Amino acid sequence: VHAYLNGTVVEVIGTKAIAQTRMAILVRGKLNDVAVDVHCIGQFFDRVEQRDGQWRIAKRNVIYDKDSITAVNPGEPLELSEERLLRFPQAYRHLAYLQSFNGGNVNPALPTSGSEASQQLRLEAQQWLRSPTP
């Protein structure tokens, strides 16, 4: 697994902040006997706090935008089950496919761009950011 980070936007109020960082995740795996790469794009959505003079991530969420899957060796046949693909949101469908195919449990309700879950995540983070610090 490789993660690539891009630009970050930070909103700071006192000793708390919300940081949004564009990211891409590249995962290599196997489906049956075919080596595949899954490329997933989204953003890390972090709540950050300053404690004892140090800024640290207090909570990290991922908001998924889109993903794709390709065979590592061009021309190698890659057969995907449409039924399994359709179990997951389009934004992280191929990543979830690979993980579930290999025995992982994948939450089908993770935040995606523009989804109710991402809107709720943003609302709660803004409330947290503006709440008094204990």
Helical residues (DSSP H) of the chain, grouped into ranges: 82-85, 93-101, 116-130
Name the domain count of the chain. Answer: 1
Does residue 24 register a pLDDT over 90? yes
Instruction: Supply the pLDDT for residue 34.
Output: 96
Give which of 113, 130, 15 is closest to 61, Cα–Cα: 113
Which structural domain, as residue segments, surrounds residue 82? 2-130
The count of C-alpha atoms lying within 13 angstroms of the C-alpha of 1, restricted to the half-sphere facing its C-beta, is 7
Question: Model-level pTM?
Answer: 0.89
Q: How far is CA 54 from CA 57, 99, 122, in A?
A: 10, 35, 24
Within 13 A of 96's CA, how many CA atoms are on the CB side?
Answer: 21
pLDDT value, residue 22: 98
Span 23-33, average pLDDT:
96
Q: What percent of the chain clears pLDDT 70, i.e. is strictly above it? A: 100
**pLDDT, tens digit, 9 for 90 and up, residues 40-83:** 999 999 999 999 999 999 999 999 999 999 999 998 999 999 99
Confidence of residue 115 (pLDDT cuts 50, 70, 90): very high
Could you give the CA distance from residue 43 to residue 24 in angstroms, rounded to a whole number?
8
Q: Indicate which CATH number applies to the domain containing 69.
A: 3.10.450
